Structure 1
Amino acid sequence: MHKILMAATLLLASTGAANCADAKGAKTMNDNTSAQADAKYNLPPGTYAVLDTEKGVIICRLFEKESPVTVANFIGLATGTKEWTHPRTHEKKKSRFYDGLSFMRVIPNFMIQGGDPLNNCTGGPGYEFEDEFSSGLTFSKPGLLAMANAGPNTNGSQFFITDNGSKPTYLNNKHTIFGEVVEGMDVVSAIARVPANGGIAVKPVRINKVDIMKIMPKKKAAK
């Protein structure tokens, strides 16, 4: 049985940790750009995280209704609209958090884990926030995007994506699920299978950038 944990002793907590970031940094797709996105990805209306990695692109639909606080936190960090504190320098920042980080923990047929500025599974954004669990969201299939943590209500910035062949139902009600992969499961599997020692990638897979894309419903043509 695998566990998805961060070192609790090195997590930085602060008051007001559950403050929700807004989606000001999201790219709201107008009719023209929405049509282009639909043509390229064939995506229905919704909010998506586009993870551009050195192994390829992973696109995740975000569960805004089911996990609103977690999604808002992820969007805020990704777009640089939410303040965070670097765990090494303790410098407060308001910049794109995930750009240039990596997937440092990789376990085939289980998951890939990223979102740590220290790149050793112990770092975070300098705050914690509570779990969000929905009865309709369980680890019943691969390709789920969820928060890594060090125990109940210790979410920060680290996340994981379940690999092909993975249905870790023992993680239900322990890790907040806030999205699912809609494009790029082959990339997830490729990352999960890079050389590793004890689940830690010998060479972490770089996340070049994380963009947030919002596709709006198409307007009906006037009769």
Structure 2
Amino acid sequence: ILQSNPSSLYYFCSFLQAVTFHTDLGDLKIELFCERTPKACENFLALCASGFYNGCVFHRNIKGFMVQTGDPTGTGKGGTSIWGRKFEDEFSEHLKHNVRGVVSMANSGPNTNGSQFFFTYAKQPHLDMKYTIFGKIIDGLETLDELEKLPVNEKTFRPITDTRIKDVTIHANPFAG
């Protein structure tokens, strides 16, 4: 039902609280903050359900900072939201880049969210109220460790070897297998 009607995801968002990315290096299970960032979560879940992220590479990887993905072109310049345009930021004083594994929308300035997102490798308080936080890794930090170890081009921060999201599982319950 979700793949045939992604718009129904907004209604069911409060029940769909977790997704697992199956990557070349292992799994990353993410708890979503649908109540605090409903638009970002609706967009993210619909893109997950449609297979949009399947095959996306981690195209930017800065040790100690973050790793970015969500661009089907693999360039860091592509991707769009489910609405076919950029969408507004959603900030909450309760959501901070205060731990390893925070998941945020990547953007090129205020209200320019699309499909790209990143995982933090450490606290990044300078990102608070500038990037929409919509989740956190709840399982698979060892996979995040492996991503952080990938050798990169020192000028572009692109991993030397393409590492991809193979596919995504959407969970109705964050404790589901």
TM-score, normalised by the number of residues in structure 2: 0.86
Contact 1:108 1:189 (8 Å CA) reproduced:
no
Q: Within 1, Cα distance between the matches of 2:7 and 2:101? A: 25
Q: Within 1, Cα distance between the matches of 2:109 and 2:134? A: 17
**CA shift for structure 1 position 178:** 0.2
Q: Within 1, Cα distance between the matches of 2:174 and 2:136? A: 19
Q: 1:23 to 1:127 in 2, by over 3 A?
A: same
Q: Which residue of 2 aligns with 1:174?
A: 130
Q: Looking at CA atoms only, which structure, 1 or 2, has the larger radius of gyration?
A: 1
Q: Within 1, Cα distance between the matches of 2:78 and 2:169? A: 21
Spell out, residue by residue over 1:58-108, the C-alpha distance to the aligned partner (whole angstroms, 9 max, x if none). Answer: 00000010100000000011101xxxxxxxxxxxxxxx2001111111111
**CA shift for structure 1 position 22:** 3.3
Spell out, residue by residue over 1:142-191, the C-alpha distance to the aligned partner (whole angstroms, 9 max, x if none). Answer: 1100000010000000000011xx11111111100000000011101211
Paired AA for residue 213 in structure 1: H
Q: Within 1, Cα distance between the matches of 2:7 and 2:44? A: 8
* 1:118 paired to 2:107: no
| Correspondent of 1:208 among 158, 166, 176 | 166
| Correspondent of 1:75 among 25, 39, 45 | 45
**CA shift for structure 1 position 141:** 1.1
Paired AA for residue 105 in structure 1: R
Q: Within 2, Cα distance between the matches of 1:213 and 1:54? A: 20
Q: Which residue of 1 aligns with 2:9?
A: 23
**CA shift for structure 1 position 216:** 8.2
Paired AA for residue 30 in structure 2: C
Name the SS of the counterpart of 1:103 in structure 2: coil
Gaps of 5+ in 2: 1-5
| Correspondent of 2:53 among 85, 98, 106 | 98
Q: Which residue of 2 aligns with 1:139?
A: 97
Q: Within 2, Cα distance between the matches of 1:54 and 1:206? A: 6
| Correspondent of 1:52 among 18, 22, 40 | 22
Aligned residue pairs: how many? 162
Runs of 4+ in 1 over 6 A off after TM superposition: none
**CA shift for structure 1 position 46:** 5.9
Q: Within 2, Cα distance between the matches of 1:52 and 1:216? A: 16
Paired AA for residue 106 in structure 1: N
Spell out, residue by residue over 1:4-51, the C-alpha distance to the aligned partner (whole angstroms, 9 max, x if none). Answer: xxxxxxxxxxxxxxxx94328x8xxxxxxxxxxxxxxxxxx8610100
Q: 1:118 to 1:211 in 2, by over 3 A?
A: same
Q: Which residue of 2 aligns with 1:183?
A: 139
Q: Which residue of 2 aligns with 1:90?
A: none
Paired AA for residue 195 in structure 1: P
